[in-house]
Amino acid sequence: MKNKLFFYNTLTRKKEEFKPIGKIVGLYTCGPTVYNYAHLGNLRTYIFEDILKRTLFYNDYQVKHVMNITDVGHLTNDRDMGEDKVEMEAKKESKTAWEIANFYTKAFKNDLKKLNILEPNTWCKATDNIKEQINLIKILEKKGYTYKTSDGIYFNTAKFKDYNKLNHQTLNQLKEGARIEKNPEKKNPTDFALWKFSPKEKKRQMEWDSPWGIGFPGWHIECSAMSLKYLKNNLDIHCGGIDLINIHHTNEIAQSEAATGKKFFNFWVHGAFLNIKGGKKMAKSAENFLTLDNALTKKGINPLAFRYSTLQVHYRKPMEYTEKALKNAQGVLNNLYNIIREYDKPKIGCAEFEQKFSEAVNDDLNMPKALAVMWKLIKSNYPSSTKKQSLLVMDEVLGLGLAKIKKEKLIIPLKVKKLLQERQKARQLKNWVRADKLREQIEELDYKVEDTKEGQRLIKK
């Protein structure tokens, strides 16, 4: 029997029992802006979202998962000023914006495969949904939420009640954070662009005609338009990193609820940062970011070691990145694979441990506790076939690829065999000191011995 499922809801600032709107859970996860490779901090967020999705499956829910690809409209300043990130990268690499977006979209999808992250049901590009974004802006205009400046069409945040209900900041705090932008035409510092006009002095690569003039959509409108299009009324869970709370997600809620008059998603679930170099957030803007390729693949580290390392820290807590921690995770994962490799074919699982695992994952994705349950199961005296069955059930959430690990016949050197026989005799005679010394000799030969109900079990280190 599964436990009740709880998530921490940023909107209410408390853990709440999850109950879907309909028969199918609608899940929207903010995807990448495709102007560069995803860094490990980004990928930590996508892993936590994958764990959330797998937990929904684990609780027998059907899920419709939508993820956007931002290939236009995300400017270098998140508050609608600066240059388009995709077009800026196109200039650097002497390619078209379309080529840049396609290249980094493929790279991102490849990273997801390496990390065993399940793909969404629907991928949706901002550039494929321009019509939907224009139509949503038209509705906002008709309802009196917009105004025009020399550089675009803006949303008037003063007209939307409870604009700060997601970030829980006072309007004065939000205004202070927005003043760095210095746009004198905005009526309120927190107002944001729905549609940006193309500069008169130069032609953009990505631009479209609209009722207000040639230009391109603002960064925030795409997620509202596409989640409403693809999920319709099943607006159950919206996910992203905590850096999206104050601006992007706050603006999504304002424009969506202003347009529809209905609540925009019941649950808002956010993951914390991956920090590097003295507690600093890993970010492309800080030029301190690491990718799967340069941090793992080139150093011979399994990408799933990074996945494992993220499971050791709760998704709402900051995670510190060090190469040493990553290598330790690689060692632990290899050990787990070696243990699984020696287990017999799975049979009936262990209900006791599966229940404890369910309690952990259903309590706001408490993966550190879930891993602890997994290791307690491994160290238990249950038969290996029982343990293997339960581990495979647990891995439906963990996503560490345990089902792919096949049993291999271990070729034991004669010297190790003799030491095992001597150790077995010592244990029968209850000569524990002798048995421990023989264990040490076996470990010096790169083997590990474990005592189970079925007798001694040898594992290659």
Q: What is the pLDDT of residue 451?
A: 82
Q: How far is CA 411 from CA 171, 417, 421, 424, in A?
A: 69, 10, 16, 19
Q: What is the pLDDT of residue 276?
A: 84
Q: What is the pLDDT of residue 278?
A: 66
What's the mean pLDDT in 96-114?
96
CA angle 69, 73, 75 (to 5 degrees): 115
What's the mean pLDDT in 213-219?
94
Residues 6+ apart with CB under 8 A from 410: 342, 458, 460
Q: Alpha-carbon distance 318 to 30, whole Å?
A: 19
Tokens 């809801």: give the residue.
9
Q: What is the pLDDT of residue 460?
A: 72
DSSP 356-418: HHHHHHTBT--HHHHHHHHHHHHHSSS-HHHHHHHHHHHHHHH---GGG---------HHHHH
- What's the pLDDT tens digit per position in 135-182? 999 999 999 999 999 999 999 999 999 999 998 876 666 665 555 566
- What's the pLDDT tens digit per position in 79-93? 677 788 998 898 899
Q: What is the pLDDT of residue 181?
A: 60
Structure letter (DSSP) for residue 323: H
Q: What is the pLDDT of residue 459?
A: 76
DSSP 224-240: HHHHHHHHTT---EEEE
Q: What is the mean pLDDT of the chain?
A: 91
Q: Alpha-carbon distance 291 to 295, whole Å?
A: 6
Bridge partners of residue 449, in order along the sequence: 458
What's the mean pLDDT in 208-228?
96
211-241 exposure pattern, b = at least 16 Cβ within 10 A, e = fewer: ebeebbbbbbbbbbbbbbbbbeebbbbbbbb
More reliable by pLDDT, 453 or 249: 249
Q: What is the pLDDT of residue 192?
A: 94
- What's the pLDDT tens digit per position in 340-392? 988 888 989 999 999 999 999 999 999 999 999 999 999 999 999 999 999 99
421-449 exposure pattern, b = at least 16 Cβ within 10 A, e = fewer: ebbeebbeeeeeeebeebbeebeeeebeb
**Spacing of C-alpha 421 from chain mean position:** 48
First to last CA, the chain: 37
Encoding tokens for residue 337? 């694979």
Q: What is the pLDDT of residue 93?
A: 93
Measured torsion, CA atoms of residues 207, 208, 211, 216, in degrees rounded to the nearest 10: -40
More reliable by pLDDT, 432 or 281: 432
- What's the pLDDT tens digit per position in 402-413? 999 886 666 788
**Are 13 and 165 spatial neighbours (Cβ–Cβ below 8 Å)?**
no
Bridge partners of residue 346, in order along the sequence: none
Q: What is the pLDDT of residue 284?
A: 62
- What's the pLDDT tens digit per position in 287-343? 567 899 988 888 889 999 999 999 999 999 999 998 899 999 999 999 999 889 888
Bridge partners of residue 363, in order along the sequence: 6
Q: Alpha-carbon distance 239 to 244, whole Å?
A: 9
Encoding tokens for residue 324? 């040493």
pLDDT at 46 over 90: yes
Phi and psi at 448, nearest 5°, equal -125, 135
Q: What is the pLDDT of residue 457?
A: 79
pTM above 0.85, yes or no: yes
What single letter denotes the amino acid at residue 382? Y
**Spacing of C-alpha 152 from chain mean position:** 33
- Of all residues in the chain, the percent with pLDDT exceeding 70 is 93
Encoding tokens for residue 413? 């050197």
Three-state secondary-structure class, residue 73: coil
What's the mean pLDDT in 226-238?
97
Q: What is the pLDDT of residue 110?
A: 97
Q: How far is CA 128 from CA 100, 217, 399, 428, 455, in A?
A: 16, 12, 31, 72, 61
Phi and psi at 284, nearest 5°, equal -65, -35
Structure letter (DSSP) for residue 128: G
